[in-house]
Each structure stands twice: as structure tokens, then as C-alpha cells.
Structure 1
Amino acid sequence: MTSQLDNSPSPPNLKQISQTFRLVGWISFWAQLVLAIISGLIFIFAVLSAAAFSRSATPGASAANPGTGGGIFFATCSLFVLAYGIYRSFQYVQLGRRLRETNPSFRPKKLETVQFLWMSLMVRGAGLLLAVMAGEAITGVLLGKAFLSMGAIFNPLAINQIIQPLDIFLVLANTHLITAHFIGSAASLWLLNRINR
């Protein structure tokens, strides 16, 4: 395989690898971009809604979601890592185009390509870890709210102890983040497998 990435002219297998890089790059790019936009909009909506709710809350009532701050922080960090991962997915397309070059000096070496894919996989792993930490924080708060919500129905000052649709919306946004990082990881692993055949 090393000779296939380094010799000219482009062998048929190298053209197939190039095509695979471009296809997988575009699919992972668009899938992750859509999921990132949806997650970002949900998190923005959640933060703005929580701020509006805490301003209009009954005097004496506590903040809308006192424990989700940590979850939103980790989810936001994961969203930033996902943005970088989306950029890396677009680079798969660029790499696929460079692999089609007939001049071997413009083609990337196999070692460079493998290192690039491993680095992409590390980025995806970091983002996935942050998203899982966010999920743990958010669902931990929801579990606490579920335990405390027994008597909250009869107490108007404890309205924040009832699980609200916004809380479930945060879980959905975080699930989108995890899915997007999984798509990026699967794309990197697929390309690593393809290049090492």
C-alpha cells in the first residue's frame, strides 16, 4: 500500500481510496454539520429560556435549572471540539483530491495520511468524552429533580424541581452531539481501515 500512495501515475486502487475519502468526507461533514447546528440552536434556546425563566420566576423560587450549568459547559466545549472535527471532515475531501494527483510529489504519503486520521480520531474521542460528561451531568440533575418532584406539585415555590420539557430538550441536544462525534469517529475508523488494506 505504501507504494500505491507514493508512486505515479495514480493506480486504480489509489483512485478508489481517493473516491472513498471524498465520499466519506462529504457524508461525515454534512451529517456532523446538521447535528452541530441543531445542538447549538437547542443550547442557545435553553440558555436564553433559563435566563428568562429565572428573571420571571416567583419571588423566593430558585433558578430554573440549578445543576445544568456544568452539563451545558461540557456540552459547549464538546460543540467547539465538534466544530474542529467538522473542519477535519472537510479536510478528508481535500485529502481525497490530493490523492488523485498524477504527480507523486503532490500526493500525501501514507504515513502522513494515517497520522492525520489518527489525530482526527483523537479529536473525536475528546469531543465524545466531553459530550458523555455533559450527558452525565444533565441526566444526574434530571434524576435529582425526579426524586425531588414528589411534593413540588403542591408547592409553587418549588417549580424548578419538576422536570420540564426544556430539560428533555437538553438531553436531546446532547444526544445529537454524541451522535455527531460517533459519526466522525466511524468515518475516521472506516478511512483508516480502507487505507491499511
Structure 2
Amino acid sequence: MSNQTDLKALPPPVQRVIPALRRIGWISFWTQLVLAVVAGLIFLFAILIESPAPREAARSSNVGIGPGIFFAVLGLVSLGVSIYWAYRYTRLSQQLSSVNPKLRPRRADTLQMVRRGLMVNLAGMSFTLIAAEAIGGILLAKALQYQGGASLVTGLRPQDFIQALDIFVVLANTHTIVAHFFGLLTGLWLLNWIDNQAQG
């Protein structure tokens, strides 16, 4: 009851922003967390079932996979930061519910925090898109080798063809892209909502 009384003491725009920040923060947090866990488990599974071929053979058959995996991992790390940022939105809603105006973040600070969250998601999506380009190029090269029918003549090894492991890596990277996209959507929605509430 006292919480309701405290909320009524706040300015009307702040009253409207608090539940939106809390709700969107939790939705964004849990959605991105689930997608990050699934992507992380798929990457881990792909690493664990990787064929025990010698390093030289693996390198020659997957030229460029190193940069692809590197950028995919950067995308996952950025996703971790984005998940933390979504959690901070929920903490920000608690700070905004303070009756003392000195303890309450200013509108500019709130907007700046949402903008930083957008930048994290934009950077993470950029990393995962670069990873997708690198991994997609490798899969295209493998598919073209197979289409050329050169396997009988040149004796290509099994890792020179598209395998289930390659599709796992693509799937994990796609989950990371979707998570960053969701973070961008929620951040843009929050930015627009807070801006409209301040004007209204």
C-alpha cells in the first residue's frame, strides 16, 4: 500500500515510465538470457564433438573459420553485456520510484542509459553478422567443392564437406543475432516510450 502511495507522489510521466522500464527490462533480460544459453550450449556442443582431425588438416579445410568463431564469441560476450544492461533497466525503474527527487535519475540520464544499451546491441549484432559472413563463406566453399564432383578425383576428406557440426555453428550464431535484434527492439521501444511520456 505504501508503495502505491509513493508512486502517486511522483510526477505523472515518471509514474508511467516506471512500469514500462520494469516490464520491458525483465522481458528483454529473460529473452536474451534464454537465447544466449541456447547459443552458448550449441557452440559448446559443436566444440566438443569436433572431429579429432590433426590441426593442420582442420586448418586447411576450414580456412577462415578462426575469424568466424572469433567474431561469434565476441557477439556472445556482447550479448552477456546486453543481458546485464537489460537487468539494469529493472534497477533503474526502482531508482525512479524514489520520492526524493535528488535520488531519482534525470530523464537525460535514463535516455543515455538506454542509448548505451542500444550501442552494446548494435556492436554485438555487428560482430555476429561478421561471423555469419565468414562462416557462410566457408560453407559455400565446401558446397562448391561437393558440387564440383571432385571428391573421387582429388580424394577430399569428410571435413571438406558440409557437416552437421557446421549447421550447429550457424544455428548458434543465428540465435545470437536474434537475441541482439530483440535487445535493439526493446531499447528502441524504451527510447521512444520515455521520450513520448516526457512530452505528454
TM-score of the pair, normalised by structure 2 = 0.85
Amino acid at match of 1:113: T
Partners of 2:47 and 2:62 lie apart in 1 by: 10
Deviation at 1:153, TM superposition (A): 5.2
Which residue number corresponds to residue 171 of structure 2?
Answer: 172
Paired residues of 1:42 and 1:173 also in contact (CA < 8 A): yes
Deviates more, 1:137-146 or 1:97-106: 97-106
Deviations 1:53-104 (A, max 9, x none): 325x9xxx92164432211110001100110110000000001111111111
Count of matched residue pairs: 185
Distance (whole Å) between structure 1 residues aligned to residue 195 and residue 130 of structure 2:
32
Tell me what 2:9 maps to: 9
Q: Which residue of 1 is the match for residue 3 of structure 2?
A: none
Larger mean CA deviation between 62-71 and 32-41 belongs to 62-71
> 1:9 is matched by which residue type in structure 2?
A
1:158 paired with 2:157, answer yes
Whole-angstrom CA distance in 1 between matches of 2:76 and 2:108: 29
1:79 equivalent in structure 2 = 76
Partner of 1:148 in structure 2? 145
Is residue 2:137 matched to residue 1:137? no
- Secondary structure of the residue aligned to 2:49 is helix
Aligned-pair RMSD on alpha carbons? 2.0
Q: Distance in 2 between matches of 1:67 and 1:141?
A: 7
Structure 2 gaps of 5+ residues are 1-7
Cα deviation code 1:120-139 (max 9, x no counterpart) = 11111100100100000011
* Contact kept in structure 2, 1:152 and 1:159, CA below 8 Å: no
CA contact (8 A) 1:43 1:173 kept: yes
